[in-house]
Structure 1
């Protein structure tokens, strides 16, 4: 019986206000987590000269990522039967692709290192987990 209720809830049309609410929640949570990671990295002296490990670029790219995830979820909600499963798959693929520059490009940047790349990768993972968790959470819908 519960699986039938889940299926019907998952098939329910996603309203624009549901999507915006979920997107805002995902953004706020992702920013707070990533700012904490930046704070700890800076306090620990990890790559202090690396521009990518400062609040402004982290805030900008986190916002771009969450907005992109929210729009993607909205598109999938209108085009596929199982939006949550499809979004989780897309998010996993995008996450894996987003980790490449952290380990290929960042270590060669001024002030960069493999550890700094791993810290940035941790931010990508945190944001992806938050986006999947919040955007697919049916409790955010009326």
Structure 2
């Protein structure tokens, strides 16, 4: 199969081009079906048809014609994912020590808890430290 260096080199280039096409194809399909909600189903079907029949040419045309929008949609998806992650972290982290102390103070002022209980709640809130990554201490 590989009788010379050039046969090996040619095979390497063909494999590289195929893997590069697969990566581009997956990015295009992700953009078409998960990020681009404005394009109709018929237009998406036409893009997929041409991606199968004329793969490299269609991928190149898609990147030239829709590359800017593709990048904008990818950026918007990344921002949305970041916001969802931040919201989850805020929800999972709970309330801040200042909020805990303020709530304990309002309970003390209303007479629902004693001064000793207030001091205990305040000490508990003040003792909370930010844990190192991957650990939790509360």
Structure with the greater relative contact order (CA < 8 A, sep ≥ 6): 1 or 2?
Answer: 1
Provide TM-score, normalisation by structure 2: 0.32
User: Normalised by the size of structure 1, how large is the TM-score?
Assistant: 0.31
